[in-house]
Chain A
Amino acid sequence: MMFKSLLAAILLVAASILPAAAQDFIAGIPRNQTLIIQGPPAQNAEWFNLWAPGGGASNNGLQQLTADTFWFINPDGTGDAAWTNALAADRPQYNADFTEMTVKLKDGIFWSDGVPFTADDVVYTVETQIAHPGMGWSAPFKVNVDRVEATDPHTVVFHLKAPNSRFHTLFTVRWNAAWIMPKHVFEKVADPLSFNNNPPVSLSAYVLHSYDKAGNWAIWKLRDDWQRTSIGMGLKEPPQVKYVVYRNAGNPDARVIEQLNHNLDVINDIAPEGMFTIARKAGDQMAAWFPGFPFAHPDPTLPSVLFNHQVKPFDNADVRWALALMIDIRSVAMGAYRGAANLAALSTPPTGIAVPDYYEPMQDWLKGFELNTGTRTIKPYDPTIAEQVAALVRPQWGDSIPSDPAKLKSMFGFGWWKQDVQAATELLQKAGFTKQGNQWMMPDGKPFAIRLMVEGDNVPTLARAGSIIAQQWSMQGIKTTIDVAGPTNGQRLGAGDFEAAIYWSVETWGGHPDLSFFLDSYDSAYIAEPGKTQPPRNLQRWKSEKLDAIIEANRKVAFDSPQVVDLGRDYLKLAVEEMPFIPLMAYNKFAPFDTTYWTGYPSAADPYSASGPFWSNLRYMVVALKPNPNAPKP
């Protein structure tokens, strides 16, 4: 009797599963018209307001596919092609002393509910955020804008409180920027900070289709009137991707499994080992930034060893240089990235336009750079690092590693500092340190020990790099312990509650040589007192008169002026001389793409767009993908 009822129960369960098993992976949507992207961990499902705090970086497709603003810079692009006029018809026009900016808007753009986009939306965006402090861009608007007016339905004039040649960067998307609010929706709302904007109206080519109440997925559909958007106007052919799904794909192991089962097309980031596994198993059904090793895409962000200049002895440039020369960067590359690291000796990420504008022209200067160790002068730069790393990975990857030095430099970096323990010793002695046995002692007699802070789980490759560097310093007589900060990392960096940390304080446009994106915040006027919070990005609290002079000069020069590059080079030279932080490498992301259903992803050979799921420029990739003719039929 009991067995019969058990059997019946099993059959019932099986019967209810079978119809579900026979369905598409996503109910009601044809798989071969859908692009499935790895989304953020589940959160905030019902909130679609980009302009309230916490919602300002909404990564489930909202800012990537539906928001729009004036201009986009392709972080992987170079030259003029990197700049895109989106809502704006042309580049920003400043008056002579940069106190006024005029923007001409494109005609024929409509919100997804049929209302035309006009200059009134822009004016509303600025005035509302000034009137309601606490919104995403309230602070920068309040600080910069005196008043804003729409001189005609397609022209906006900003009157600034003080000269600011970089004001337009607020509306220029690198990762995100000040999005334009729909006036006709928000003006009906009493408090824009508590309005959840559900369902959102879209200004770009896709609109919300459905979403999971628990926040695990969001589905976006191509608008029927997609031509009436800034991105649609520029397309020669209609976008083939009709549906975009941002889904929470779970742990990195689950992501790899899902992509191998063709249920996940775009992955944001996995461990190098996961990437190599996919490359091995998926073979020609996978695409990545590089077709072979190192596969990884370098983000325009510069992980470095940051020193807190308000903590002795890290205010001494000799000490910082000594610590840099103690590092064997090849072990760091092998350990953190299995060799797939793009090493950077200059204080700017080696991606996009930085390569032709900074890295290539400055090689001679770097090779000739001399450092005084106190007893002699050395030339610490080693331009052959790329070949050395290639030799280390060739046993595992064989022929896929080229021998052409130029190709190797684009994969592994242009060069780095040679490990020179003798020179490091001399520099420390010059700074007044002494060595007792294998233990370095500071000038005041205390043993020299360092606590190196790392974030931990969210940026695991940097935690690995930190562990290796800590081990190297410890083996050479400076006891270094790793301090895993977890979610308190951002807070502690800002508060200056660290001695040294592995993180980044340099981020650039990628597609534009102007370094003000991060450099402007390095002005010594913004440095906080010890114990007070330091606003980004000068987390190391580096103070230098020469630096201030460069920043001042850059502010007076127009964004696109060729002088910007010269000033950039001046800054980079200063950063090498003073070594305020030790640049390590570009932030490499292992992002595999599944080509079973879609092809045409950006790559090193064709860097036409950003490809990271959370980057707002991703939209230019989404509309350019072509369906794979060999995809399984539904």
Chain B
Amino acid sequence: MDGFAKYLARRFLQFILVIFLGVSLAFLITHLSPVDPVEQSVSLMTNFGATDPRSVELLRAALSELYGLQGSFFEQYLAFWGRVLHGDFGPSLSSFPTPVMSLIMGALPWTVGLLTLSVLIAWCLGNLLGALAGYFRSNILLKLSGAAVMALHPVPAYIIGLLLLLTFGFVWPVLPISGGAQMNLQPGFSLVFIGSVIQHGLLPALTLVLVGIGSWFISMRSLVSNIVTDDHVVYAELGGVSSATIFSQYVARNALLPQLTGLALSLGNVFGGAVITEFLFNYPGVGRLLIQGIYSGDYSLVLGVTTMSIVAVAVAVFIIDLVYPLIDPRVRLG
């Protein structure tokens, strides 16, 4: 148990360090922004309506007070940390005065749901297929599916998504290509709503699964083909243990450990795939929110989403770190 506590402490410190570094980095970067939020709002308001030049001056003065961007660099940095710890990034400039946090909180469940499901499916399926392919080397079916999966591996996420969108939305329109759920449905735990969410999430999730499955397959297969030649496995085979048992208990279990570490390390990249997928399928997650924020020059929204995504990925990595000792007894023993 001692080893476990030490491990936990180390991982927790790492978690804190990631958040500290990441959030500071985000603040530093945005501090170089040339976008002036007051001018942005003024130009948004006067874009279409007839406005008296004198009136615009009054509007500008009033807005400068409302937004409140004052203080030195260091003061703003400290104020920023204060806001992050309170979860308050101020109002969104393109959706003034809705707070950025409520926009993020509305979008986060969609991204978390989509990512969790896709990553789990890709990881489990990829590892399963890879392990089978690595163990049963001569099986034709596995070889073919392996080739198919590997052919998908080099294709960028955007292209896979675009192909799926055109196939199932345009050429053979059976699945919805936009939105998170059917319109006018009240969100809740009703079967209808959940069914609609699944229906709308199929194409984005399929995209992410197809994008991710390749790398897990390849790494698992090479891991398993190495473990297969290990002494303990050869000994078990000679000893007459059934191949099903050898496969699951001797081979796959050991191969899962580095794959789990790999999962934690890959989460940063997976999030990027989600951004482009949400953009493509108009899925109401934080990725789409981020891109919209950039298109509309919404300084506070972009900063908020970036910070929250850093925190979210750090939390996900930490959770996986917590799961790891359950599978690897060596950690517990220190």
In the complex, A touching B (Cβ < 8 A): yes
A217 touching B183, Cβ below 8 Å: yes
Contacts A139-B59, A521-B53 given; does A2 touch B128 at CB 8 Å: yes
Taking CB atoms, residues of chain A closer than 8 Å to B128 are: 2
Taking CB atoms, residues of chain A closer than 8 Å to B107 are: 214
A490 touching B44, Cβ below 8 Å: yes
Contacts A19-B192, A457-B295 given; does A219 touch B96 at CB 8 Å: no
In the complex, A599 has a CB within 8 A of chain B:
no
B58 touching A257, Cβ below 8 Å: no
Closest to A522 in B: B53
A214 touching B284, Cβ below 8 Å: yes
B59 touching A47, Cβ below 8 Å: no
Taking CB atoms, residues of chain A closer than 8 Å to B198 are: 13, 16-17, 20
In the complex, A609 has a CB within 8 A of chain B:
no
The stretch that binds A, out of B70-78, B173-181, B258-266, B326-334, is B173-181
In the complex, A185 has a CB within 8 A of chain B:
no
In the complex, B35 has a CB within 8 A of chain A:
yes
In the complex, A432 has a CB within 8 A of chain B:
no
Could you name 6 residue pairs across A and B whose Cβ atoms are closer than 8 Å? A20-B182, A54-B94, A213-B106, A487-B294, A521-B52, A526-B53
In the complex, B187 has a CB within 8 A of chain A:
yes
Bound Cα distance from A143 to B56, whole angstroms: 11
In the complex, A138 has a CB within 8 A of chain B:
yes
A21 touching B199, Cβ below 8 Å: yes
Given contacts A26-B183, A254-B178, 18 further A-B contacts (CB under 8 A): A20-B195, A43-B95, A44-B92, A47-B95, A54-B45, A54-B95, A54-B97, A55-B96, A213-B187, A217-B179, A247-B183, A248-B179, A248-B282, A261-B173, A487-B294, A491-B40, A521-B51, A535-B53
B45 touching A139, Cβ below 8 Å: no
B43 touching A219, Cβ below 8 Å: no
Contacts A143-B55, A487-B35, A488-B34 given; does A134 touch B292 at CB 8 Å: no
3 closest A-B pairs by beta carbon, nearest first, are A487-B297, A490-B43, A139-B55
Closest to A211 in B: B184
In the complex, A199 has a CB within 8 A of chain B:
no
A175 touching B49, Cβ below 8 Å: yes
Number of interface residues of B (CB under 8 A): 73
B183 touching A212, Cβ below 8 Å: yes
Name B's interface SS. helix
Q: Would you give the 0/1 interface string for B34-62, flagging 1 where the beta carbon is closer than 8 Å to chain A? A: 11100111111111111111111111101
A57 touching B192, Cβ below 8 Å: no
B185 touching A27, Cβ below 8 Å: yes
The one of B35, B55, B288 that contacts A140, using a Cβ cutoff of 8 Å: B55
Taking CB atoms, residues of chain B closer than 8 Å to A143 are: 52, 54-55, 58
The one of B48, B63, B196, B295 that contacts A487, using a Cβ cutoff of 8 Å: B295
B192 touching A20, Cβ below 8 Å: yes
Bound Cα distance from A34 to B96, whole angstroms: 30
Instruction: Give, as a whole number of angstroms, the nearest-CB distance from A21 to chain B.
Output: 7
Contacts A134-B66, A257-B170 given; does A487 touch B52 at CB 8 Å: no
In the complex, A239 has a CB within 8 A of chain B:
no
Contacts A13-B198, A133-B62, A140-B52 given; does A47 touch B178 at CB 8 Å: no
B51 touching A46, Cβ below 8 Å: no
Interface-centre pick from A212, A487, A507 (highest chain B CB count, 10 A): A487
In the complex, B169 has a CB within 8 A of chain A:
yes
Residues facing B in A217-258 (CB within 8 A) are 217, 219, 245, 247-251, 254, 257-258
Taking CB atoms, residues of chain B closer than 8 Å to A260 are: 170
B62 touching A134, Cβ below 8 Å: yes
In the complex, B21 has a CB within 8 A of chain A:
no
Q: Would you give the 0/1 interface string for B81-125, flagging 1 where the beta carbon is closer than 8 Å to chain A? A: 000000000001111111000000011001000000000000000
Taking CB atoms, residues of chain A closer than 8 Å to B170 are: 257, 260
Contacts A138-B62, A251-B282, A491-B35 given; does A194 touch B177 at CB 8 Å: no
A245 touching B58, Cβ below 8 Å: no
Instruction: Give, as a whole number of angstroms, the nearest-CB distance from A544 to chain B.
Output: 17
Bound Cα distance from A176 to B45, whole angstroms: 11
Bound Cα distance from A249 to B94, whole angstroms: 19
Instruction: Give, as a whole number of angstroms, the nearest-CB distance from B106 to chain A.
Output: 5
The one of B48, B55, B59, B183 that contacts A57, using a Cβ cutoff of 8 Å: B48
Taking CB atoms, residues of chain A closer than 8 Å to B295 are: 41, 457-458, 486-487
Instruction: Give, as a whole number of angstroms, the nearest-CB distance from A6 to chain B.
Output: 9
The one of B180, B196, B280 that contacts A216, using a Cβ cutoff of 8 Å: B180
Taking CB atoms, residues of chain B closer than 8 Å to A477 are: none
B58 touching A219, Cβ below 8 Å: no
Closest to A59 in B: B48
B180 touching A214, Cβ below 8 Å: yes
The one of B43, B54, B93, B184 that contacts A27, using a Cβ cutoff of 8 Å: B184
Bound Cα distance from A495 to B60, whole angstroms: 13
Q: Would you give the 0/1 interface string for A3-40, flagging 1 where the beta carbon is closer than 8 Å to chain B? A: 00000000001001111110101111100000000000
A176 touching B98, Cβ below 8 Å: no
In the complex, B151 has a CB within 8 A of chain A:
no
Instruction: Give, as a whole number of angstroms, the nearest-CB distance from B279 to chain A.
Output: 8
A176 touching B183, Cβ below 8 Å: no
Bound Cα distance from A3 to B274, whole angstroms: 29
Contacts A138-B58, A490-B39 given; does A26 touch B44 at CB 8 Å: no
Taking CB atoms, residues of chain B closer than 8 Å to A133 are: 58, 62
Contacts A194-B97, A254-B177 given; does A134 touch B39 at CB 8 Å: no
Instruction: Give, as a whole number of angstroms, the nearest-CB distance from B120 to chain A.
Output: 12
A487 touching B58, Cβ below 8 Å: no
